[in-house]
Structure 1
Amino acid sequence: MTQHAPTYPIGTPGQPWGQPEIAAWRAGIVRQRRYEDLLAAIRPLGADFDLIEYGALDYEDQHFPLLALHSRGWRDELPVLVVTGGVHGYETSGVLGALQFLREHGLETAGRANLLVAPCVSPWAYERIQRWNHDALDPNRNFRPGSPVGESAALFALLAPLRGRVLMHIDLHETTDSDEAEFRPALAARDGEAFEPDTVPDGFYLVDDAERPQPAFQRAVIEAVAAVTHIAPADAKGLIIGSPLQSPGVISFAVATKGLCAAITAARFSTTTEVYPDSPRTTPQQCVDAQVTAVRAAIAYALAHQN
Structure 2
Amino acid sequence: MNYTLNQLQIFLRITETKSITKAADELHLTQPAVSIQLKNFQDQFDIPLTEVIGRKIYITDFGMEIAEAAENILNHVYAIRHKTLAYEGLLTGRLKISVVSTGKYVMPYFLSDFVNEHSGIELAMDVTNKARVIESLKNNEVDYSLVSVLPDSLDIEKLDLMQNKLFLVGNKAYPTKKVLHPKEIFAELPLIFREKGSGTRRIMEHFIAQNNITVIKKMELTSNEAVKQAVLAGLGYSIMPLIGIKNELFKKDLQIAPVKGLPITSTWSLIWMKGKKHSPVAAAFLEYLKNEKANIVARKFDFYEEY
The answer to whether TM tops 0.5 is: no
Bigger radius of gyration, 1 or 2?
2
TM-score under structure 2 length normalisation: 0.28
TM-score under structure 1 length normalisation: 0.28
